[in-house]
Amino acid sequence: MNVSNPGKLVIISGPSGAGKSTVVRRLLEVCSLPLKLSVSATTRSPRPGEIDGQDYHFLTRDEFLRRQANGDFLESKEVFAAGDYYGTLRSETASGLAEGKWVVLEIDVQGAQTVVQQQPQAITIFLHPGSMSELERRLRDRGTDSDSAIERRLEVARGEMALMDRYRYEVVNDTVERAVREICDILQAHRSDKD
């Protein structure tokens, strides 16, 4: 552990389709803090262009369940009715924090709750597109999900939006560059935190 410069946990949640991945990727490029992305594990199939080990660790269901039983996850859950698993590997956060990095978790609201119970000092940010109708438009424009998958995501999103006030910060992703700047400013304000 780098005691003089301890790492921090940053949690970014928000409804699926809120543009989290794009914002997080850009944040890592432009924010001048030692940020490191925690790459989650999932059993869902890669979308076109997604790279194993970079966007997610894509695991088979058997491998995921084996690692879950082994206690390898800081948090994990079955996210959608379709039955895909997602989780944060302890190894992803531990290695970054030990190096004094600010480890960014892009996870859903339940996962965020689980992590905050263990790490209450985590900086939590809820990123959302402003309204449910804007979210639906973005999910349809993305063109990666079937109508029924979009309906499921919207249903989950309604529940997630209701939990926004559990986060320390709320950021509207109206434009990527503005949202990234706001998040970076929020994080910079935590530089002198003692934890």
Q: Contact residues for ligand 5GP (CB under 6 A)? A: 16, 40, 44, 75, 77, 79, 86-88, 106-108, 110-111
Burial of 94 (0-12, 13-18, 19+ CB in 10 A): middle
Secondary structure of residue 75 in the 3-state scheme: strand
* Number of residue whose CB is nearest ligand 5GP: 111
Which CB sits closer to ligand 5GP, 56 or 102? 56
Smallest separation (angstroms) from ligand 5GP to the CB of 5: 26
Smallest separation (angstroms) from ligand 5GP to the CB of 144: 8
Return d(Cα 58, Cα 42) in angstroms, integer: 5
Smallest separation (angstroms) from ligand 5GP to the CB of 7: 18
Helices (H), the chain: 20-30, 61-69, 90-98, 109-118, 132-142, 147-161, 176-188
- As given in the structure block, the two tokens for residue 59 are 């695991």
- As given in the structure block, the two tokens for residue 193 are 């935190």
Smallest separation (angstroms) from ligand 5GP to the CB of 167: 13
Which CB sits closer to ligand 5GP, 84 or 99? 84
Which CB sits closer to ligand 5GP, 77 or 190? 77
